[in-house]
Amino acid sequence: MSDWFGSVVNSFSSLTQSEPKKSNQGTNDKDGCHIYAVVVMRHYAQKESCRLTAEYDFSPLPMYMAKISREVTDLVSRTTSQEALPDESKCVDMENNMGMFYVKATNDPPPSQLVFIVAVNKHCTRYQALQFLQEAMHIYKVQDDVYRDNTGEALKCPELRSLMQQYKGKRDVLVDAQSKLDEGNLDELIAKSQDMTQSTARLMRDARRRNSCCSAM
């Protein structure tokens, strides 16, 4: 299963890598979290599921890539929901640093089991994605006893669309705080220190440079 998903998502990400960098201009995608899609599936029988709700926002991507992205999202949603176990969580990696799919199933067995799938950009942290899923599961209410794919207006959920907007451009405050501590203040702290020898200060700066090189690789 993972190998099959990998090949699909690899093809998807290699296409996005060939796009001009201008596609990111004028968006919050490069600065923070972006929720590409949230899909709610009903797992109603073995290897059977239907799409109850889906909200998409692939606006940071070029038009033709947005269409491909939606199709891949629907494919991942269908397949993961058909195999979901009660209370199961999993993630599907978009290769080449594109982003992630996060999947969370409710504790109910089929036919009542709901499976929530969220597609996020590479700047959305795991914590943010899981937090989004928890909020989505809390606010979403099944409207009808449906066992077939909804289409058109029936797919829409204003509450989930509003939640997606709340995460748009949002940064993980813990990651921001860590980055400020890691890099920006080290030289300042060394300069102010009264207890550090010059040789120790040099070793610390060298260690930081080595870590930066490793991160870049």
- For residues 20 and 42, the model is more confident at 42
- For residues 217 and 18, the model is more confident at 18
- Would the pLDDT of 31 be above 80? no
Angle at 15 between CA 213 and CA 36, to 5 degrees: 85
Tokens of 62: 């070029």
Average pLDDT of the residues in 105-120: 97
The CATH number assigned to the domain with range 2-171 reads 3.30.450.50
Measure the CA–CA gap between 50 and 35, rounded to whole angstroms: 22
Average pLDDT of the residues in 86-112: 90
Which residues lie closer than 8 Å to 111 by C-beta, 6 or more apart?
Answer: 42, 43, 44, 45, 147
pLDDT band at 94 (very low <50, low <70, confident <90, very high): confident
Tell which residue, 43, 151, 32, 33, has the closest CA to residue 103. 43
CB neighbourhood size of 49 (10 A): 24
- Would the pLDDT of 46 be above 50? yes
Is 0.75 topped by the overall pTM?
no
pLDDT in tens, 124-165: 999 999 999 999 999 999 988 889 999 999 999 999 999 999
Return contacts of 201-206, CB within 8 angstroms, 24+ apart.
Answer: none
- Would the pLDDT of 5 be above 50? no
- For residues 51 and 212, the model is more confident at 51
- For residues 200 and 64, the model is more confident at 64
Domain residue ranges of the chain, discontinuous segments joined by +? 2-171, 185-216
Place of tokens 């509450």: 159
- For residues 178 and 137, the model is more confident at 137
